[in-house]
Structure 1
Amino acid sequence: MSARHLISLDDLTDAELYAVVERGAAFSAGADAHRDPLRGLVTGVYFRKTSTRTRTAFSAGVLRLGGTIITYGADDLQLNTGESTEDTGRVFSRMLDVLVARTAGDPAEMRGWAAQPRMSVVNAMSAEEHPTQGLTDLTTLLGRFGRVEDLRVLYVGEGNNTAAALALGLTRYRGTTLELRTPPGYGLDPDVRMRARAHARAHGSTVTEHHHMRDLPAGFDAVYTSRWQTTGSTKADADWRERFAPFQVTAALWEGSPEAVFLHDLPAHRGEEVTAEVLDGPHSIAFQQAENKMHSAMAVLEWCAAGASARTAREARGARAA
């Protein structure tokens, strides 16, 4: 059995996705019925880009599950002196059981680290997708509504790696609706859109994207946005703020969806992508969502540890047979 990797939500089967989300929601609800699944395991935490929530979530999650951590900063590895991605992964895999990494770059680098059978690799954000954020969002919805099926979510803002993960995760639940309103030129990556639509067809869900704020449907269960300046990225267009301005989340969006909760992956910039009235208002569960990053991280780490335990048991059986 090879190590379990989470580089994209598409690396999970439907059953695995649902199980990880349900386990995250159980942790969020106070479940602590585990036997330190990371005891004896070492997790490397490598962040080349800034992080408050994700890095803290995984670090705290490892410790709460009985594991130990080695942390690496952006300038700590011999990658900076020309060592190949594959060689780095091969070395890591002989010393670490799990590697949690944020590069904000091409996910192919993480695939290179994952090209070995011993160490799990978890994508803590790449330029294309933020899969652990997607799991956090699904965990938050499940905890709030008691289900994910049939929920209707409005996402407003850039079609960035957070939007990608939301699209690739939510569409795998039966009967869900995801309406994306993204600025012209800043929509979902075409490959992500194609994959999300394929999931939607297979699960009886719906995903649509428009580049304006006109004719919004009513009756959403959740309204979601993320900051306009995605971590590790810049905008090529000098007038990009003019394009984004109509997509600010204000209290007016609740006129047609008065019971909707508000989600934000944080950090937030009040007065830009969202008004303070919304972020700090009664509909906002953004800070519970932030806490759920730790609960989702614990669920992911537990899933990785189960793979490591199965692999160790198999190796032990092979050694006895020899």
Structure 2
Amino acid sequence: MTSAGRNVISLDDLSAADLRSIIARGAEIAQSRQRQFDTLNGTVVGIYFRKTSTRTRTAFSSGALRLGARIISYGPDDWQTNTGESYEDTGRILSGMLDVLVARTAGDPAEMRALGAHRQMPVVNAMSDEEHPTQALTDLTTMLCRFGCLEGRRVLYIGEGNNTAAALALSLSRFEGTELHLRTPPGYGISESVRARALLHAEQNSAIVTEHHDMDDLPTDVDVIYTTRWQTTGTTKADPDWRETFRPFHVGTRLWQHSPKALFMHDLPAHRGDEVSADVLDGSASIAFEQATNKMHSAMAVLEWCRQ
């Protein structure tokens, strides 16, 4: 039986030591020539996705299999929650049958808290409305592989203050001397709750988290320029003219004039011509597809940590 507290529902569930351990293990797996492990041999991992997914679902499914686990996959219509059963009761039942549950609800994180209330079944948040913690773990694993350390890294994030941006703010700020400069469209910034938590982490780690709603006076010589798709998976925007608001936040090659050594990251899927130009996404600075592959390596590290 696993110990209590092994859920990964929010990055704030992880201690600094846990965060470092998962990222380091993800990088170790990424850089290893070994493709199969037996660390989850004999376990059963549930994979529940209520919303669409290519990378995250495949990463956790493939990762679990490579660790020696067996998986049970659920689609959006498979649970009795559709007929009124509570998430509390669903979690209670599943906890007697599964060793880990990976869930994407893209809804209220309280649903995952209810599923994860039973200590014998850790729950991994594969994306909710507020936060995408396993994406941030992937992102930091990729940066660690590329730079050798996370301390002092400088990141320019351009685009919506969505769950990916929230997770990046809540994770990068926990490393000494890092800088995260968010440039988000007016009305589409990170939430006040996320901002307050990220700033608290930053204060404790001599890090910097800033947010502005224009593209003026961008920081120079950053290590990473990061963007996400303008239309976050599973969401819609009330403003019919939102594309005009987002247009100045397009990532093109001109951004490299002041940060010529910057690497480009994107959580994917990408829409060339919207949030990023094809020249950037497919160019020599882009590590977006390496980043996507690392989602599996990071997922394996998360699953191992949940079962420790």
Q: TM-score, normalised by structure 1?
A: 0.94
1:198 and 2:169 matched: no
What is the aligned partner in structure 1 of residue 281 from structure 2? 279
User: Could you give the per-residue CA deviations for residues 41-91 of structure 1, whole angstroms, max 9, x where no partner exists?
Assistant: 100000000000000000000000000000000001100000001000000
> How many pairs were matched up?
306
Provide the secondary structure at the position in 1 that maps to 2:307: helix
Offset of residue 217 of structure 1: 1.7
Q: Is the 8 A contact 1:3 1:118 kept in 2?
A: no
Partner of 1:220: 222
Which of 244, 247, 253 is the matching residue for 1:245?
247
Distance in 1 between residues matched to 2:297 and 2:218, nearest whole Å: 33
Verify the 8 A CA contact 1:6 1:123 in the aligned structure 2.
yes
Whether the aligned pair in 1 keeps the contact of 2:50 and 2:104 (CA below 8 Å) is yes
Contact 2:5 2:13 in 1 (8 A): no
The aligned residue for residue 141 of structure 1 is: 143
Deviation at 1:34, TM superposition (A): 8.3
Q: Distance in 1 between matches of 2:253 and 2:37?
A: 45
Instruction: Find the aligned partners of 1:3 and 1:203 in 2 and give their Cα distance.
Output: 24
The separation in 2 between residues aligned to 1:280 and 1:2, in whole angstroms, is: 43
Instruction: Kindly indicate whether residue 191 of structure 2 is the aligned counterpart of residue 185 of structure 1.
Output: no
CA distance in 2, matches of 1:33, 1:18: 22
Could you tell me how far 1:37 is from its partner in structure 2?
1.6
Contact 1:3 1:119 in 2 (8 A): no
State yes or no: 1:44 paired with 2:38: no
Contact 1:25-1:295 within 8 A present in 2 as well? yes
Structure 1 residue 31, shift from structure 2 partner: 5.6
The superposition leaves residues 133-179 of structure 1 with CA deviations (integer Å, 9 ceiling, x where unpaired) of: 00000000000000110010000000000000000000000000000
8 Å Cα contact 1:37-1:305 kept in structure 2? no
* Correspondence for 1:311: none
Distance in 1 separating the partners of 2:78 and 2:120: 22
> Corresponding residue for 2:113?
111
Contact kept in structure 1, 2:37 and 2:66, CA below 8 Å: no
1:28 and 2:7 equivalent? no
- SS of match in other structure, 2:180: strand
Larger Rg: 1
Contact 1:174 1:204 in 2 (8 A): yes
1:264 and 1:220 map into 2 onto residues whose CA distance is 15
Q: Classify the secondary structure of the residue corresponding to 1:26.
A: helix
What 5-or-longer segments of structure 2 have no aligned partner?
none
Matched, 1:255 2:257: yes
Q: CA, structure 1 residues 3+179, in 2 after alignment: closer, same or farther (shift >3 Å)?
A: closer
Q: 2:98 — aligned with what? A: 96
Instruction: Give the partner amino acid of 1:95.
Output: M
The CA distance in 2 between the partners of 1:3 and 1:128, in whole Å, is 20
Whole-Å separation in 1 of the counterparts to 2:199 and 2:33: 34
Q: CA deviation at 1:33?
A: 9.4
Rounded Cα–Cα distance in structure 1 between residues aligned with 2:121 and 2:198: 28
Segments ≥4 residues shifted beyond 3 Å:
31-35
| Shift in Å, 1:30 | 1.3
Superposed, 1:282-321 pairs within 5 Å as: 282-306=284-308
User: How many angstroms apart in 1 are the aligned matches of 2:35 and 2:76?
Assistant: 35
Return closer, same or farther for 1:268/1:60 CA change in 2, 3 Å cut-off: same
Kindly provide the amino acid, as one letter, of the partner of residue 37 in structure 1: T
How far off its partner does 1:36 sit? Answer: 1.1
- 2:61 maps to a residue whose letter is S
User: Which residue number in structure 1 is paired with residue 79 of structure 2?
Assistant: 77
> What is the deviation of 1:181?
0.1
Matched residue of 1:178: which SS? Answer: strand
Q: Do the aligned partners of 1:224 and 1:263 also contact (CA within 8 Å) in 2?
A: yes
The structure-2 alpha-carbon separation of the partners of 1:56 and 1:34, relative to structure 1 and needing over 3 Å to count, comes to closer
- Taking the aligned partners of 2:104 and 2:53, their CA distance within structure 1 comes to 9
Q: CA deviation at 1:227?
A: 0.1
Structure 1 unaligned residues grouped into runs of 5+: 307-322
Q: Secondary structure at the match of 1:236?
A: coil
Residue identity matched to 2:226: Y
Query: 1:154 & 1:2 partners in 2: Cα distance?
Result: 36
Q: 1:54 aligns with which of 53, 56, 59?
A: 56
**Aligned residue number for residue 19 of structure 1:** 21
Residues 255 and 103 from structure 1, CA distance in 2 versus in 1: closer, same or farther, beyond 3 angstroms? Answer: same
